[in-house]
Amino acid sequence: MGAEKTSADTGANIERLALVYSESKRARKAARELTDRFDFVSIEEADAVIVLGGDGTMLDTLHDMLEVERIIPVFGLNLGTVGFLMNRHDGVSDLLERVNAAKRMAVRPLQMEAVTQDGRTERSCAINEVSLLRETRQTAKIEILVNGRIRIGELAGDGVLLATPVGSTAYNLSANGPILPLDSRMLALTPISPFRPRRWPGAILPETSKVTFRVREPSKRPVAVVADQKEVRDIAEVHVEIAADMEMTLLFDPGHALDERIVAEQFIT
């Protein structure tokens, strides 16, 4: 079932704001300042959400909206460390004007279905990436299928991940995966410390791809899967594809949009 869309998703004027903030001292102080200036409403009543904190708080907020199946635009103010998904916290007096002038960026999460060794099925969404990781010192051995066709018969290494364009600058980049432009509608399939095939750099796939990972020798070489923060251990098989009916909207100040940050990230030395 797709998540509910509101008038704010169609470009209508945003008037009612909800507020979410992290437990950090800076975020709580900023929240007090904002609540003195604005009358915030619940997410159920809001046209958009203001998020105070870092990328972790933003991801938590997006996941919470997916859980309740009500998706509205989100405008983040960086009071964390990196703040890749956030805007600068330059004061709050013009907050409503900034939100309505913001550039809208569509984000499509991944839908993961994991089958464990004992036959349980676990489902979750990922904004950044779905990653498979070895649980012990034993090298993981993973078969990779794309749209039902075997592409890698056996990947031996620490694991493998599938990242969205948003997530391509996170764990994917640390694993030497490619940075994907936000509007590319592509996915990054990236090995993690591969042993065999040693020189396989990974692949860039259309976002319409359905990717299946099958764990070889799962009892001897146990593997966990992580969809953003949610972990499922001792898996046998994982299916991943874009959840097109759960498109989310991030709001960015003009000139500081996520697509420009993704391009700029490629020139950092």
Amino acid making up residue 148: G
| Cβ-based neighbours of 86, under 8 Å, separated by 6 or more | 51, 53, 54, 55, 58, 76, 77, 78, 80
Tell me whether residue 78 is annotated as binding. no
Tell me whether residue 90 is annotated as binding. no
SS3 readout for the chain: CCCECCHHHHCCCCCCEEEEECCCHHHHHHHHHHHHHCCCCCCCCCCEEEEEECHHHHHHHHHHHHHHCECCCEEEEECCCCCCCCECCCCCCCHHHHHHHCEEEEECCEEEEEEECCCCEEEEEECCEEEEEECCCCCEEEEEEECCEEEEEEEEEEEEEEECCHHHHCHHHHCCCCCCCHHHCEEEEEEEEEEECCCCCCEEEECCCCEEEEECCCCCCCEEEEECCEEECCEEEEEEEECHHHCEEEEECCCCCHHHHHHHHCCCC
Tell me whether residue 169 is annotated as binding. yes
Tell me whether residue 129 is annotated as binding. yes
Q: Let me know if 55 is a catalytic residue.
A: yes
Tell me whether residue 55 is annotated as binding. yes
Tell me whether residue 33 is annotated as binding. no
Tell me whether residue 247 is annotated as binding. no
Residue among 9, 47, 55, 228 flagged as catalytic: 55
Tell me whether residue 56 is annotated as binding. yes
Tell me whether residue 45 is annotated as binding. no
Tell me whether residue 147 is annotated as binding. no
Strand duo 248-252 + 74-78: pairing: parallel
Tell me whether residue 173 is annotated as binding. yes
Tell me whether residue 158 is annotated as binding. yes
**Annotated binding-site residue numbers for NAD(+):** 55-56, 128-129, 158, 166, 169-174
Residues noted as catalytic: 55
**Annotated binding-site ranges:** 55-56, 128-129, 158, 166, 169-174
